[in-house]
Structure 1
Amino acid sequence: MKLDEGFLHSMQDAMKLLRTRGPQEAAAALQRVLGRQARHVPPSPQGDAPAVQQPGTFTTHTFANAAGHRTYKLYVPKHHSGQPLPLVVMLHGCTQDADDFAAGTQMNALAERDGCIVVYPVQLQRANTSKCWNWFKPADQRRDSGEPALIAGITREVMTKHAVDPARVFVAGLSAGGAMAAIMIRAYPDLYAAACVHSGLAAGAAHDLPSALAAMRGGKAPHARSVEAPKRPLIVFHGDADATVHPSNAAELLRGFGDQAIVFDEASHVEAGKRTSTVERMKSAEGVDAELWLVHGAPHAWSGGSAYGSYTDVTGPDASAAMMHFFLDHPLQR
């Protein structure tokens, strides 16, 4: 086995997980690292096949503005009609990168199937040692400031260089990336038509690291955020066994969408061996739609993702497919 620099960095990440989250998380991380090093590894017990190379292009780019610079990876599908396409901005979680997040969510395959472009901004390790988006810092929670300015800038650059339908630009993320997606949809309702927050937190849930840790445990920030009327549709996924970001954060994300919700029990609609979930669909007083998928027994992981990416739960309902369905049903209403 070749111990390249990426492998050594992954081992260091696993050791950090051992200290911060315990042996179970560390063991899972080591299994993922070893699986990537040994490409002859057979499919996982769940039957999940290795991610295959999609026929479109998956390229690396760099964007810079007054807030700094970030790289991003861009997937453009091979098979499409030539008409302007939807664009999905995918924000990875802590310790992840674009390749890992693409493999775990299988969004490039969906992009080919549904005819959309996917962009994966990448957080710098020197901006956050765990490569988390800094969703808890005030300077990174505002329009045209810090990381939101960089993510919006990347979004606009892709829109300029490719045939993108400006009414169908969406943002999604996992964990810290989900929290940043919540910030982006609140700060840029003119840019993004809808957002998906998976295992994340509400915009304004924290203002520094201690309040972030408190919010992740399910506590209230010392300075509670003000409830704003939602301007754009939101779909939320959260495992009710999430031990990293407390499931109560899902309800915080949906404050402002009203108390009335239609609840659909999805238990009869899942495949054998898959987790069940409860889905709530709600609407704000202004008529803005929201959807909550509470996945029963699920940990802090992308539901229905591939085992060849980190922080995925292969037995969950397919969050990527459900998210895309929600997105395509909600173009921007100006």
Structure 2
Amino acid sequence: MFRNFLNGLPKSSFANGWTRRGKDVGGRPPTPLPKHARFEEHDFSNTAGSRTYKLYVPGRYDGRALPLVVMLHGCTQSPDDFATGTRMNTLAEERTFLVAYPEQSKMANASKCWNWFNSGDQRRDLGEPSLIAGITRQIMDDFPVDVGMVYIAGLSAGGAMAAIMGIAYPDLYAAVGVHSGLACGAAFDLQSALTAMRYGSVIRRAAEQMVPTIVFHGDHDKTVNPVNADQVIAQAKSARHLRASVSTGKTSDGISFTRTLQSDETGRPMLEQWVVHGAGHAWSGGSAEGSYTEPRGPDASRAMVRFFFQHRL
């Protein structure tokens, strides 16, 4: 099953109530956009290759500098599917920010997984990190963007790549969101990726500059061991001293969760970790119209945006 994570996830991997529905989002009529909103497709190229991406511009955009959230989809997903499942565009309308969805190429990975497990795709200005950073900077050139409020998040392989981007570009992203992902450098090839996904990994690379990080992970995830969430947090924290507080709760649909905040000396949360009890490998609180979502869970998108906007470069 773990090999299938990199080469196309089987439907049988998703059980216990979370949904894989919505994989055909691209074939259905598009959801009507709010008045004046735009969901545009663009391209970016550099020496590492080229990628398309979609950019959501909220209807209330009036030319002023806005925050930007970059969203990295999981394996087999598309920008439209990921936007639908996470409902991040809906939040962009509410809070007035831009959302970018880089799309992995099937030429780069047959299952459209970001290649987080390749050593050549884990460093600043190399491989896929250079493409994602290039897309981010292209949007910052093309639109008025608040340069202190640029963020990145992802699911699964996209979450692992988001962790890499936070380590590689702490001067570009003010905060990072990792959902069901792995730490930067958790693997260096396919075999080590399978091991890390199943058992966790040895953290070989600490963050040189702390980037505020929020993590979501279901404790029944059978694709990426939940211990990886702890390792993302440990990597982001490095040796820094933070004060921790733990709270618990339950959604109206009966999903319990544990939330741990680690704050600096001023009381500002720097690390936030959500363990969603009973959830599997799926975006917590997402829409059933998208793939790989757990609609009953706490709203990961809303929590990430709240956490992001507490931080700026």
- TM-score normalised by length of structure 2: 0.88
Q: Are 1:272 and 2:252 counterparts?
A: yes
Deviation per CA, 1:200-226: give whole Å up to 9, x if none: 0000100000000100012435xx513
Q: Secondary structure at 1:168's aligned position in 2?
A: strand
Residue 227 of structure 2 corresponds to 248
2:305 corresponds, among 304, 312, 324, to: 324
Superposed, 1:1-334 pairs within 5 Å as 17-18=9-10, 22=13, 29=20, 31-32=21-22, 53-55=33-35, 56-220=37-201, 224-256=203-235, 257=237, 261-267=243-249, 270-283=250-263, 289-332=270-313
Deviation per CA, 1:264-296: give whole Å up to 9, x if none: 3231xx442241211101147998811001111
Q: Secondary structure at 2:43's aligned position in 1?
A: strand
Question: d(CA) in 1 for partners of 2:32 and 2:246?
Answer: 34
Q: Structure 1 residues 319 and 33, CA, compared in 2 at 3 Å: closer, same or farther? A: closer
- The number of equivalent residue pairs is 302
- TM-score normalised by length of structure 1: 0.83
Question: d(CA) in 2 for partners of 1:124 and 1:264?
Answer: 40
Q: Is the 8 A contact 1:135 1:179 kept in 2?
A: yes
Question: d(CA) in 2 for partners of 1:205 and 1:106?
Answer: 29
> Root-mean-square deviation (CA), in Å?
2.7
Q: Is the 8 A contact 2:25 2:290 kept in 1?
A: no
Q: Structure 1 residues 201 and 284, CA, compared in 2 at 3 Å: closer, same or farther? A: farther
Q: Structure 1 residues 119 and 205, CA, compared in 2 at 3 Å: closer, same or farther? A: same
Question: d(CA) in 2 for partners of 1:311 and 1:236?
Answer: 17
Q: Secondary structure at 1:109's aligned position in 2?
A: helix
Q: Secondary structure at 2:100's aligned position in 1?
A: strand
Residue 7 of structure 1 corresponds to none
2:207 aligned partner, one-letter code:
E
Measured after TM superposition, the shift of residue 112 of structure 1 is: 0.8
Measured after TM superposition, the shift of residue 231 of structure 1 is: 1.9
Q: Secondary structure at 1:95's aligned position in 2?
A: coil
Q: Which one has more relative contact order, counting CA pairs under 8 Å at least 6 apart?
A: 2
Q: Structure 1 residues 51 and 278, CA, compared in 2 at 3 Å: closer, same or farther? A: farther
Question: d(CA) in 2 for partners of 1:60 and 1:53?
Answer: 15
Shifted more, 273-282 versus 96-105: the winner is 273-282
Question: d(CA) in 1 for partners of 2:296 and 2:102?
Answer: 27
Q: Percent identity among equivalent residues?
A: 51
Measured after TM superposition, the shift of residue 263 of structure 1 is: 3.2
Q: Is the 8 A contact 2:14 2:280 kept in 1?
A: no
Q: Which has the larger radius of gyration?
A: 1
Q: Is the 8 A contact 1:283 1:289 kept in 2?
A: yes
Deviation per CA, 1:106-158: give whole Å up to 9, x if none: 11111111010000000001100110000010110000000000000000000
Structure 1: runs of 5 or more not aligned: 1-12, 40-49
Q: Structure 1 residues 28 and 316, CA, compared in 2 at 3 Å: closer, same or farther? A: closer
